[in-house]
Amino acid sequence: MVALRVKKMRREKNRAGKTRLAKWYMQFDDDEKQKLIEEVHAVVTVRDAKHTNFVEFRNFKIIYRRYAGLYFCICVDVTDNNLAYLEAIHNFVEVLNEYFHNVCELDLVFNFYKVYTVVDEMFLAGEIRETSQTKVLKQLLMLQSLE
Amino acid sequence: MPAPIRLRELIRTIRTARTQAEEREMIQKECAAIRSSFREEDNTYRCRNVAKLLYMHMLGYPAHFGQLECLKLIASQKFTDKRIGYLGAMLLLDERQDVHLLMTNCIKNDLNHSTQYVQGLALCTLGCMGSSEMCRDLAGEVEKLLKTSNSYLRKKAALCAVHVIRKVPELMEMFLPATKNLLNEKNHGVLHTSVVLLTEMCERSPDMLAHFRKVSLVPQLVRILKNLIMSGYSPEHDVSGISDPFLQVRILRLLRILGRNDDDSSEAMNDILAQVATNTETSKNVGNAILYETVLTIMDIKSESGLRVLAINILGRFLLNNDKNIRYVALTSLLKTVQTDHNAVQRHRSTIVDCLKDLDVSIKRRAMELSFALVNGNNVRGMMKELLYFLDSCEPEFKADCASGIFLAAEKYAPSKRWHIDTIMRVLTTAGSYVRDDAVPNLIQLITNSVEMHAYTVQRLYKAILGDYSQQPLVQVASWCIGEYGDLLVSGQCEEEEPIQVTEDEVLDILESVLISNMSASVTRGYALTAIMKLSTRFTCTVNRIKKVVSIYGSSIDVELQQRAVEYNALFKKYDHMRPALLERMPVMEKVTTNGPAEIVHTNGETETAVLETKPPPSGLQPANQANDLLDLLGGSDITPVIPTAPTREPASAGGELLDLLGDLNLTGSPVFAPAPQIAQPPFLLDGLTSQPLFNDISAGIPSITAYNKNGLKIDFTFERSNTNPSVTVITIQASNSTELDMTDFVFQAAVPKTFQLQLLSPSSSVIPAFNSGTITQVIKVLNPQKQQLRMRIKLTYNHKGSAMQDLAEVNNFPPQSWQ
Question: Which residues on chain B are in Cβ contact (under 8 Å) with A17?
Answer: none
| CB of B17 less than 8 A from some CB of A | no
Domain containing residue B766: CATH number: 2.60.40.1230
Q: What is the mean pLDDT of residues A120-135?
A: 79
Are A125 and B51 an interchain contact pair (Cβ–Cβ within 8 Å)? Answer: no
Residue B713 in domain: yes
| CB of B73 less than 8 A from some CB of A | no
Q: Which of A20, A64, A113 to mutate to test the interface with B (most CBs of B within 10 A)?
A: A113
Q: Which residue has the higher pLDDT, B674 or B234?
A: B234
pLDDT at B628 over 60: no
Please state, in angstroms and rounded to a whole number, the distance separating the CA atoms of residues A87 and B289. Answer: 8
Q: What is the mean pLDDT of residues B493-503?
A: 72
How much is the pLDDT for A89? 86
How much is the pLDDT for B728? 79
Residue of B nearest to A79 (CA): B296
H helices of B338-453, in order, are: 342-346, 349-354, 361-374, 380-393, 396-413, 417-431, 439-449
pLDDT at B674 over 60: no
Are A19 and B124 an interchain contact pair (Cβ–Cβ within 8 Å)? Answer: no
User: Residue ranges of the domains in chain A?
Assistant: 2-146
The second-level CATH assignment, the architecture, of A2-146 is: 2-Layer Sandwich (3.30)
| CB of B361 less than 8 A from some CB of A | yes
Please state, in angstroms and rounded to a whole number, the distance separating the CA atoms of residues B719 and B212. Answer: 66
Please state, in angstroms and rounded to a whole number, the distance separating the CA atoms of residues B661 and B659. Answer: 5
Question: Which residues on chain A are in Cβ contact (under 8 Å) with B260?
Answer: none
Which range has the worst mean pLDDT, B52-56, B262-266, B318-322? B262-266
How much is the pLDDT for B660? 41
Compute the nearest-CA separation of A131 from chain B (Å).
7
Are B360 and A50 an interchain contact pair (Cβ–Cβ within 8 Å)? Answer: yes
Number of H helices, E strands in chain B: 34, 12
Q: Rank A89-98, B60-69, B264-273 by mean pLDDT and report only the highest.
A: A89-98
B519, B554, B583 - which closes a domain:
B583
Per-residue pLDDT band for B499 (boundaries 50, 70, 90) equals confident
- Selecting from A50, A113, A132 the residue whose C-beta is nearest the C-beta of B237 gives A132
Per-residue pLDDT band for B682 (boundaries 50, 70, 90) equals very low
Q: What is the mean pLDDT of residues A24-35?
A: 76
Are B58 and A83 an interchain contact pair (Cβ–Cβ within 8 Å)? Answer: no
Please tell me the pTM assigned to this model.
0.63
Residue B234 in domain: no
B583, B612, B627 - which closes a domain:
B583
| CB of B521 less than 8 A from some CB of A | no
pLDDT in tens, B381-400: 888 888 888 888 888 888 88
How much is the pLDDT for B626? 43
Please state, in angstroms and rounded to a whole number, the distance separating the CA atoms of residues A12 and A22. Answer: 7
Q: What is the mean pLDDT of residues B752-776?
A: 80
Residue of B nearest to A87 (CA): B286
Residue B539 in domain: yes
How much is the pLDDT for B327? 87
Are B192 and A27 an interchain contact pair (Cβ–Cβ within 8 Å)? Answer: no
Per-residue pLDDT band for B607 (boundaries 50, 70, 90) equals very low
| CB of B300 less than 8 A from some CB of A | no
Per-residue pLDDT band for B359 (boundaries 50, 70, 90) equals confident
pLDDT in tens, B99-111: 777 888 888 888 8
Task: Establish, for the pair of chains A and B, how many residue pairs have beta carbons separated by less than 8 Å.
Answer: 151
Q: Which of B13, B285, B291 to mutate to test the interface with A (most CBs of A within 10 A)?
A: B285
Q: What is the mean pLDDT of residues A91-114?
A: 85
Per-residue pLDDT band for B56 (boundaries 50, 70, 90) equals confident
Domain count, chain B: 2
Buried b (16+ CB within 10 A) or exposed e, B175-186: beebbeebbebe
pLDDT in tens, B213-263: 777 778 888 888 888 877 766 667 777 777 788 888 888 888 888 888 778
pLDDT in tens, B559-581: 888 888 888 888 888 877 777 77
Residue B470 in domain: yes
- Strands of B215-360 (E only): list them: 238-239, 242-243
CB within 8 Å of chain A, chain B residues 26-65: 51, 54-55, 58-60, 62
pLDDT in tens, B158-198: 888 888 888 888 888 888 888 877 777 777 888 888 888 88
Among candidates B285, B328, B339, B291, which has minimal Cα distance to B313?
B291
Residue B595 in domain: no
Are B87 and A128 an interchain contact pair (Cβ–Cβ within 8 Å)? Answer: no
How much is the pLDDT for B679? 36
How much is the pLDDT for A137? 84
Residue B514 in domain: yes
Compute the nearest-CA separation of B50 from chain A (Å).
11
Among candidates B170, B112, B192, B171, which has minimal Cα distance to B144?
B112
Compute the nearest-CA separation of B74 from chain A (Å).
15
Question: Which residues on chain A are in Cβ contact (under 8 Å) with B96?
Answer: 27, 29
pLDDT in tens, A39-77: 888 888 787 777 788 888 777 788 888 887 788 888 887
Are A81 and B285 an interchain contact pair (Cβ–Cβ within 8 Å)? Answer: no
What does the mean pLDDT of chain B come to?
Answer: 76
Q: Which residue has the higher pLDDT, B663 or A103?
A: A103
B550, B583, B616 - which closes a domain:
B583
Residue B422 CA neighbour count, 13 Å, CB half: 12
Determine how many CB atoms are found less than 10 A away from the CB of residue B310.
20
Are A83 and B285 an interchain contact pair (Cβ–Cβ within 8 Å)? Answer: yes
pLDDT at A136 over 80: yes
Q: What is the mean pLDDT of residues B604-627?
A: 37
Please state, in angstroms and rounded to a whole number, the distance separating the CA atoms of residues B796 and B706. Answer: 15
pLDDT in tens, B75-95: 888 888 888 888 888 888 776
Per-residue pLDDT band for B670 (boundaries 50, 70, 90) equals very low
| CB of B434 less than 8 A from some CB of A | no
Residue B450 in domain: yes
Please state, in angstroms and rounded to a whole number, the distance separating the CA atoms of residues B271 and B265. Answer: 12
- Selecting from A22, A34, A131 the residue whose C-beta is nearest the C-beta of B246 gives A131
Domain range enclosing B479: 437-583
Residue B488 Rama label (left phi>0; alpha psi -120 to 50; beta): alpha
Are A147 and B80 an interchain contact pair (Cβ–Cβ within 8 Å)? Answer: yes
With contact defined as beta carbons under 8 Å apart, do B469 and B513 qualify?
yes
Question: Which residues on chain A are in Cβ contact (under 8 Å) with B369?
Answer: none
How much is the pLDDT for B304? 82
pLDDT at B599 over 50: no
pLDDT at B649 over 50: no
Q: What is the mean pLDDT of residues B631-645?
A: 41
Q: What is the mean pLDDT of residues B503-511?
A: 81
pLDDT at A95 over 70: yes
Among candidates B511, B540, B534, which has minimal Cα distance to B586?
B534
How much is the pLDDT for A12? 61
pLDDT at B606 over 60: no
With contact defined as beta carbons under 8 Å apart, do B429 and B393 qualify?
no
Partners of residue B243 on adjacent β-strands: B238
pLDDT in tens, A7-22: 234 566 655 667 777 7
pLDDT in tens, B515-564: 888 777 888 888 888 888 888 888 778 888 888 888 888 888 888 888 88
How much is the pLDDT for B1? 52
